[in-house]
Amino acid sequence: MADRKATIKSVSIDLFFKKGYFATSISDIAGGSGIQKASIYYHYASKEDLLFHILKSTMDDLTTTLKQCLAKGTGTEQRMRAAVRGHVRFHLERQKENFIANSELRGLTAEHYRSITQKRDEYELIFQDLIRQGAEQGVFADVDVKILSYAILTLCTAGATWYKPNGRLTVDEIADIYENFIISGLKQGNLNTPASC
């Protein structure tokens, strides 16, 4: 039980993922951490403070990972492939935190909410720039940048909802599928007539 503060955070991530932020009590977290609930407040100012720490570190690590992935690629398509792959991997490897980051924003104070959504917006911008560049270079079709960026991100993020660590497919196999699906969608080859319903 080296670092109690880290233990509390880790237990909270497990519980927020399984039960949700509002359904998890300080008592639950204390029980899981092997201490009394009052002791939580020595390490974190409040339950909301704990949530904010989780979301902040997740978003910061996510952005760092993306930038590392992009640094390796050359050319817009390769860079988009690397971005998608990095995004998928990060979300599957740190499934619980990412699930929380996408579902528990309402638990934050107004100020902390702005802080996290600003980080998210900056992250989205990187993808939007890639789509725009690809469209200008003729690598991708002339698609709606905003909608497509949301589509790409939610698609990959959704993995954090259903992924099972010891399931049928490995992280890299799932990343392959998403990468090809998304690049195909961005290129928009051979399309026919739309539906009527």
Residue 85 and residue 179: Cα distance in Å, rounded? 6
* Number of amino acids touching DNA (CB under 7 A): 19
Instruction: Say if CB 13 and CB 100 are below 8 A apart.
Output: yes
Residue 6 and residue 49: Cα distance in Å, rounded? 14
Residue 48 and residue 29: Cα distance in Å, rounded? 13
CB of 97 to its own copies, least distance (A): 17
Instruction: Say if CB 149 and CB 186 are below 8 A apart.
Output: no
Residues between 20 and 39 with contacts to DNA, criterion CB under 7 A: 24-28, 30, 35-39
Choose the one of DNA, its own copies, none that binds residue 38, judging by a C-beta under 5 to 8 angstroms depending on kind. DNA
User: Which strand (E) or helix (H) includes residue 44?
Assistant: none
The residues binding its own copies (CB under 8 A) are 19-20, 22-23, 68-69, 72-73, 77-78, 81-82, 84-86, 103, 106-107, 143-144, 147-148, 150-151, 154-155, 158, 161-162, 169, 174, 176-192, 194-197
The residues binding DNA (CB under 7 A) are 4, 24-28, 30, 35-39, 41-43, 45-48
